[in-house]
Amino acid sequence: MHEMSIAQSILDIILQESGNHKVTRVLSVALKVGELSAVETESLRFCFEFLTKGTAAEGAQLDIERVQVTCRCQDCASDFTVKELTFSCPSCGSGKLEMLSGRELSVESFEAE
Ligand SMILES: [Zn+2]
């Protein structure tokens, strides 16, 4: 499952960082998830809960921030947020776009004690 491997890599990052900082318990984890990363947040929560059992991150809250898809037009250089999945520039109609955000999936920070 897609979300299971993502949850695993999130946990790996947290446990590695925790090891460096002598953490006994992870309280919450802040994630950024792009709208185009195709991650089902409920499913990710479920997998994370499952994987963290018996680790320092057991019971940690996942704070998931969804990141909108933004693009830059290669022809007129305007930046815009993609609302519906129509990939053309709202200023000049060009289809030559560079994606600036929307695919990310990263651990922003986490709280621990
Ligand atoms: Zn344009």
CA of 82 to the centre of ligand 1 (A): 13
pLDDT category at 83 given cuts 50, 70, 90 is confident
CA of 103 to the centre of ligand 1 (A): 21
Residue 23's domain comprises: 2-112
CA of 99 to the centre of ligand 1 (A): 13
pLDDT digits (tens, 9 = 90+) for 24-81: 999 999 999 999 898 999 999 999 999 999 999 999 999 999 999 999 999 999 999 9
pLDDT category at 1 given cuts 50, 70, 90 is low
Q: How many domains does the chain have?
A: 1
Contact 26, 110 (CB under 8 A): yes
DSSP 43: H
Q: pTM for the full model? A: 0.81
List the CATH number of the domain containing 71. Answer: 3.30.2320.80
Neighbours of ion ligand 1 (CB under 5 A): 73, 75-76, 89, 91-92, 94
CA distance 101 to 54: 35
CA of 53 to the centre of ligand 1 (A): 49
